[in-house]
Amino acid sequence: MENEMEVFVGQKDNYEVKGFFASGGMGDIFEGVDSRGNEVLIKIPKKFTAGRNDPMNIQVVSEIDNLKLLVHPNVVKFIDTGNKGSKPFLVMEKIYGISLKEHIEDVDYSYEFATNVCKGVISALQYLRTRRVVHRDISHLNIIISDDIPKIIDFSTSIRIPEETDSIKLKGSRIGTEFFSAPEQLNDGAVYIDSDIYSLGAVTYYSLTGLKPEKYKKDIKQIERYADLPLYYLISNTLQEKRVDRIRDLSVLSNVLNGKN
């Protein structure tokens, strides 16, 4: 960004850039304010060629289109979009908080905390399912804890599953974070409408133990002291390498967590 006072003209408002915030694999994020002085984040892709139908372009557009569909307390809020030159940009809420990774490292992890994270992620996933959106990269880095509320961020990997199917296989597209994303994504590029459920188990395990899940038998042994409690049931039935072995009904998992089963 050459000029910190640069203005992004969106469809709903104008946004003045205040400074650099972060950089990811696909885009740079800047802090800004809207015309009323509200703080926002502005994301613009590092590379984008207008009119080119390549995977990078498609993913940039998909993030904007998918986030537009989502209004949920456990999901980062879409605010606006527009074009800066030939590049589309995304304006979203600025969440005040720390990542799940930072919380585990600097604050605490506990059964109560893990339950809170799990409830928030389940609620978000139930909502995403109604929009047929799969995040594909729910991890310790893509959850922000803000006033004890977990919020899922970074929909740059998200994809919508068509109504006529429950899965897509994307050749050469193995997207996700090791230990947190579903094995079928990382190994085969296969995405199911319920693939994020594996990530639910992974972030819950991480929130409970402070450890990344590595091997199922080892991980489950680590939490045996919780064997009679809901989180053990949830983790043991979602953190399964094979999709067929997972409980994929979010309402079942929600009921167990809330003591209804």
- What tens digit of pLDDT does each residue of 18-41 get? 999 998 777 899 999 999 999 999
- Token pair 């590029």 in the structure block, residue: 189
The pLDDT assigned to 109 comes to 95
Q: Say which amino acid occupies 38.
A: N
The pLDDT assigned to 191 comes to 93
What is the pTM for the complete model shown?
Answer: 0.93
Query: What's the Cα-to-Cα distance from 76 to each of 118, 142, 144, 145, 210, rounded to whole Å?
Result: 17, 10, 9, 11, 24
CA dist., res. 108 & res. 122, Å (int): 21
Expressed in angstroms, the distance from the first to the final Cα of the chain is 54
The pLDDT assigned to 26 comes to 79
CB atoms within 10 A of CB 48: 21
Rounded (10°) angle between helices 111-131 and 230-238: 50
The pLDDT assigned to 3 comes to 46
Residues of the chain with CATH 1.10.510.10: 98-257
**CATH fold for the domain made of 98-257:** Transferase(Phosphotransferase); domain 1 (1.10.510)
Give the chain's length: 261
- What tens digit of pLDDT does each residue of 115-155 get? 999 999 999 999 999 999 999 999 999 999 999 999 999 99
154 an active-site residue? no
Contact 161, 168 (CB under 8 A): yes
Could you give the residue ranges of the DSSP H alpha helices within 107-229?
111-131, 183-188, 196-209, 216-222
Please tell me which residue in 137, 154, 194, 219 is annotated as part of the active site. Answer: 137
7-93 carries CATH number 3.20.20.70 = no
Residues of the chain with CATH 3.30.200.20: 7-93
| Helices and strands (H and E) in the chain: how many | 8, 13
- What tens digit of pLDDT does each residue of 160-189 get? 999 999 988 876 567 899 999 999 999 888
- What tens digit of pLDDT does each residue of 186-206 get? 988 899 999 999 999 999 999
Q: 3-state DSSP call for residue 129?
A: helix
